[in-house]
Every structure is written in structure tokens, then in C-alpha cells.
Structure 1
Amino acid sequence: MTTLPRGEAAEVHRVARRRRAVAAAGAVAAGLLVLSACDKPTPTATITVGRDTVSSEAVCYNDGNALDAKALTACAKKTGDAKTISVGEDSTVRIGVDPKIADAGWAVLVNGRPFTSLSKETYRTLPGNAFFNEQYGTGGNSNTLVIQMGSNPTKGVWSFKLKKA
């Protein structure tokens, strides 16, 4: 038999239940706090050559707003961390962009120079030999391909390295 007065055992269960509810609410609040500290993912750009594919989030992106000159200068320094893909002379380079990028218009720059005109499509193909041709100013064994969102002003930058196969 229990020695507790009548109704006291029920009170102990209520306190334990209340503590569990407070702990669960605290855990949910902590989880939401952690999630709110995360950056929103940026739209992605993808390059495919044959069966190889590389995707990247933006090197610089201001939630679709214009980037100022200071931000663009900082972007230029970050292009060294770009993902690399091998391109053969007879390959086709397929470039795909998120619809957010396409809606603003985008262009391809190679080694900092304009390579294509502004497009509002989500997909574009280019011949692989164009990326390693002196005629286009892209000679050598490696080139930097930049996808620029918007033309004036620039709203985002994605960077890739193309390596001659």
C-alpha cells in the first residue's frame, strides 16, 4: 500500500508531464533558432559535359538584388574555389540555370570576357572547342567560366573551371 495522502500521486504525474512539455517546447524553439541562423540556399547553375556534371550555388548573390562594385570585386577573388569539369574538343557543354536566374537574364563570361549574349532560357549548349580556341581568346589548358545573372546591374555570379581534356 502507498503511504501518500489521497490525490497526491496524481499531482506528481502532472508535474512530470509539465516538465516534459516544457522540455519539448524548448527543443522545438532551439531547433527553430538553429534553422533561422542558416543562410537561404542560392539558385544553382549546372554544367554538364558528356556524363560528367558539376553544380554550384552562387559565388555572390544578394537575394536577387543588384550587387555593388565592392561585392563584385570580392566575387572576382572567390572564383579560385570554383568546381572543375573536363571538356574535350569535340564535346558539347550544356549549361543549365535555375528559373530565378533565367528570369533575370544571364550571360556566360570566359576569363572575364563576355562569351554569350544575355539569355532568358534555363538551358544553353555550346561547343567544347570554343573554350580552348585562340580565335575566341580562350586558348590554354584551363579557363574560368562565369555565369552572370543580370547584365546591368549584375545580380549574381556563379563560377566554374573548364579544364581541357
Structure 2
Amino acid sequence: MLGILGALVLVLTGCDKPTPLVTLQSGGDFVQAHAAQYDRDGTVIKKGGYQAPVLHAAPGSVVNIDVAKSVADKGYFLASNDTRITDIITEPHYRLSVPDGRGEVNLTVFQAPHAGSEQASGSWPFRLVVQP
């Protein structure tokens, strides 16, 4: 009986396929996150209680952004404080220049919308703290 229950638990927990991972890196600091929202085959997956990971970067440095190949294949773009800052990117790696100055920026990676839609099909919010 315990064997059947254990197998059932494994089957049920195996149904929760994780969303693609996005990694941000600058200097010796890096953070990773699964999507806060993701459209998988027409089903929208939302992560409740999502806390945006925080990346620290020096003014004038570079933030390396790595997305899963599945995200890059569909295309993605970046937004800073809710303003789109890039065209559609189709490479899994992107280098973002950090402006001079100090402050905090909400940086979000959005997966490009599906054909016929204007809404992004995935979002990965991060907080970028710029300080020397």
C-alpha cells in the first residue's frame, strides 16, 4: 500500500513542470528565476507570492542575461520600470549596459506574445540595484 501511495505522490508532483529559467549576472553576483507568469500551451501559470530576485551591479558595468533556448526561440524583450527598452531578441544571451548613476530599477524579461496576441506570453521580473 505504501508503494502505491508513494508512486501516486511522485506522479502528482511530476505534473508541475517548472517554467523556463532566466539568469542575470553582473560582476561576481548572479540571480536566477522561474517565470512569475508563463503561458504553457494556452494555460497561464502564475507563481503566487513571487518575489523579484535582486541583482547588484556597478554603474557602467554590464548585466549578462541568459534565457532558456525555448524562450529565445520564441523571442523576448526587456523592460525597465515598465518601459520597453529592446526590440525582440532571439539569442539566448544578451548583454545590457548599466547606466552611470545609482538607484534601483525594475527590470523585466518578457517572452514575446503569441501570434495574434499583444500580451507577453511570459514574464521574469528582477530588481536591479545600481551602486558602486
Q: Same fold (TM over 0.5)?
A: yes
Q: Please tell me the root mean square deviation across aligned C-alpha atoms, in Å.
A: 2.7
Q: In structure 2, how many angstroms separate the alpha carbons of the residues matched to 1:149 and 1:103? A: 10
Structure 2, unaligned runs of 5 or more: none
* Alignment correspondent of 2:104: 142
Give the CA deviation at 1:122. Answer: 0.3
Structure 1, unaligned runs of 5 or more: 1-22, 133-139
Q: In structure 2, how many angstroms separate the alpha carbons of the residues matched to 1:64 and 1:146? A: 22
Q: How does 1:34-53 map to 2 (within 5 A)?
A: 34-36=12-14, 39-53=16-30
* Alignment correspondent of 1:26: 4
Q: In structure 2, how many angstroms separate the alpha carbons of the residues matched to 1:33 and 1:124? A: 37
Q: Which amino acid aligns with 1:50?
A: G
Of the three residues 118, 124, 129, the one matched with 1:158 is: 124
Q: Which moved more, 1:104-113 or 1:27-36?
A: 27-36
Q: In structure 1, how many angstroms separate the alpha carbons of the residues matched to 2:74 and 2:42? A: 10
Give the CA deviation at 1:100. Answer: 1.0
Give the number of aligned pairs: 127
Q: Is the 8 A contact 1:66 1:155 kept in 2?
A: no
Q: Is the 8 A contact 1:85 1:161 kept in 2?
A: yes
Larger Rg: 1
Give the CA deviation at 1:159. Answer: 0.5
Of the three residues 102, 111, 117, the one matched with 2:87 is: 117
Q: Which moved more, 1:55-64 or 1:103-112?
A: 55-64
Of the three residues 49, 61, 65, the one matched with 1:95 is: 65
TM-score (norm 2): 0.81
Q: Provide closer, same or farther for how the CA distance between residues 121 and 65 of structure 1 changes in structure 2, counting only shifts above 3 A.
A: farther
Higher strand share: 2
TM-score (norm 1): 0.66
Q: What percent of counterpart residues are identical?
A: 25
